[in-house]
Amino acid sequence: MTESTKTTIGGYLIRRLRDHGVGHVFGVPGDFVLTFMHELEQSPIRLITTCDEQGAGFAADAYARLNGLGVVAVTYGVGGLKIANTTGQAYAEKSPVVVISGAPSMEERRRHPLIHHKVRSYDTQYRVFQQLTAAATVLDDPECAVSEIDRVLEVAKNYSLPVYIELPRDAIDLPIVPPASAATAIAQSDPQNLAAALDEAIGWINRAERPVVVFGVELHRFGLQDVVMDFIEKSGIPATVTLLDKGAIQERHDSFIGVFAGALGRDDVREYVEGSDCLIMLGTLLTDMNLGAYTAQLDPARCIHATRDRLAIGLHTYERVQLEDFVTGLAREAGPGSAGSGVVRRQVGDRPRAPLREDASVDIGDGTQAVTIAHLFRRLETFLTDEMVVLADPGDALFASIDLPVQGARAFLAPAFYASLGFAVPAAVGAQCACPDSRPLVLVGDGSFQMTGVELSTCAKYGLDPLVIVLNNGGYTTERLILDGGFNDIQPWDYSKLPELLRAGRSHVVKTVGDLEAALAAASVRDGQFFLIDVRLDPKDVSPALIRLGERLKKAANARTSSDGDSHVPILT
């Protein structure tokens, strides 16, 4: 081994993370990971230590969604198992997070049956993460450490899924010889299947009177958004997104009609999409949340549905057709430059249009009336700027954001499928590290804030300046609508006192629409600190989206009791 090629397992792992564009790693120190964290601090990668491991996991998830790969580093057992939840979310929503866990040394495992943080056996944590990730490895052998590091990182990138690397503390400094280059294996489409699928899809699209593109989250995960935007612009077909996809498309685009979320969304968007005779779903995940708690009425016989795992055109399924090849083929066959049998460009007449910031108008009257969720989000429509990335926690913070017109692609992040509370505040840490010129706008319920809001301390530590809006209504509003009880109430906090506790940041209490104007004016001045707005809401106040959902579910229940149930349109599952 020459000096020019000499490196260690830990050093090679850091090098490969840098090769994949990682500039930050999020974590919490613990004795089994300290040596690796020390190496990180000596490297060009910046180590961001959070207050809690779950906060680090959520920060890495948000970073991954914006940067293409995120990394969380924790200690064994007490650290690793605390991020099982955030890793599960990354898997469910296809976010490429690398979990690095320090671990007891191989010698310690042989000599000592009981070492702190051990649960059942020394491979218990490894076996847990095998169920939560797309690839997992233990770097206990320098002979195969290089190939294992390259393997799991390529899985994370190629499949946009989380992976797990366990790093025994006596293996970090083991010498290895890295290869000259790392090979990447890319799945290929079957040429005949791809050609047949494109031919059938183009025929469907050209015969359709009202085609609609559903711009799915996988397009962003796999870097295909520009290709599909090219297809949309060449074909003239309008586009929508589901709740998980929000932020995957530029909502200012002329072709964008708004968010389709079943009964949670606007009625005009729902009716237009459900009335489509050719729904072109590209990279869309059909979750219950995306389908508005299964209130969306979509006929699978009228859908083209392409994801990383499956392609179906109506009731036909095509094997071995890659999403990238399919959408690239559609774009190639659209517009004036396409072949004679390509997608015909059309002029779409009357259709919904997404709300734009310039459309919004807010009447504040004399400023003394109580603030409501509807007023708050209507006012935020005019407050958003191009530099803002909106992060919404599950619940009414997310549902009220459906028609909030974010300014550009990738400007909205929310766990709209896995729906883990406590995401948004720590995610703001990851988002601003990934996009330093941005400013996170965090929308979070008070129940969610009490779980992870302490990560504002991390913001203060690293000079991050998110604007955090707490929807303070005394508990879990969405759960109250399902089944109410004292279990939905939380201890009231004076959130505005957090800057005093943390010795950083600014805050404002909002009770009236006039208070809101003052708070937003103060928050618009950036001074390198977080700004928290405590919005005091009536516990019974809910967003227009939840009101729409309730009315639709009630109407559906009444229809079921007054008919034989044979005339409904199938729900796509």
- In angstroms and rounded to an integer, the radius of gyration of the C-alpha atoms of the chain is 25
Copy the structure tokens of residue 57.
Answer: 């996991």
Q: Which residues contact 42 (CB under 8 A, 6 or more apart)?
A: none
User: What span, in angstroms and rounded, lies between the C-alpha atoms of 110 and 285?
Assistant: 45
CA dist 27 → 97, 282, 300, 423 (Å): 13, 34, 43, 15
Q: Which residues pair with 478 in a beta bridge?
A: none
> pLDDT 10s per residue in the chain (573 long)?
444 467 999 999 999 999 999 999 999 999 999 999 999 999 999 999 999 999 999 999 999 999 999 999 999 999 999 999 999 999 999 999 999 999 887 777 777 677 777 778 888 999 999 999 999 999 999 999 999 999 999 999 999 999 999 999 998 999 998 776 655 667 789 999 999 999 999 999 999 999 999 999 999 999 999 999 999 999 999 999 999 999 888 888 889 999 999 888 899 999 999 999 999 999 999 888 888 888 888 999 999 999 998 999 999 999 999 999 999 999 999 866 555 568 888 777 778 887 766 666 777 888 899 999 999 999 999 899 888 999 999 999 999 999 888 866 678 999 999 999 999 999 999 999 999 999 999 999 999 999 999 999 999 999 999 999 999 999 998 888 888 899 999 999 999 999 999 999 999 999 999 999 999 999 999 999 999 999 999 999 999 888 887 777 666 666 656 654 444 433 332
User: What span, in angstroms and rounded, lies between the C-alpha atoms of 216 and 282?
Assistant: 5
Let me know: does 337 contact 292? Beta carbons within 8 Å: no
**Residue 3, pLDDT score:** 45
3-state secondary structure (DSSP) of residue 370: strand
**Residue 212, pLDDT score:** 96
**Residue 182, pLDDT score:** 58
**Token pair 């009444």 is at which residue?**
558
Domains identified in the chain and CATH numbers: 7-176 (3.40.50.970), 191-332 (3.40.50.1220), 360-542 (3.40.50.970)
Backbone angles phi, psi at 10, to 5 degrees: -65, -40
SS3 content of the chain, % helix, strand, coil (to 5): 40, 15, 45
Q: Are strands 135-138 and 163-168 parallel, antiparallel or unpaired?
A: parallel
User: What span, in angstroms and rounded, lies between the C-alpha atoms of 527 and 533?
Assistant: 16
- Listing DSSP states for 443-493 in one string gives EEEHHHHHHHGGGHHHHHHHT---EEEEEESSB-HHHHHHS-SGGGB----
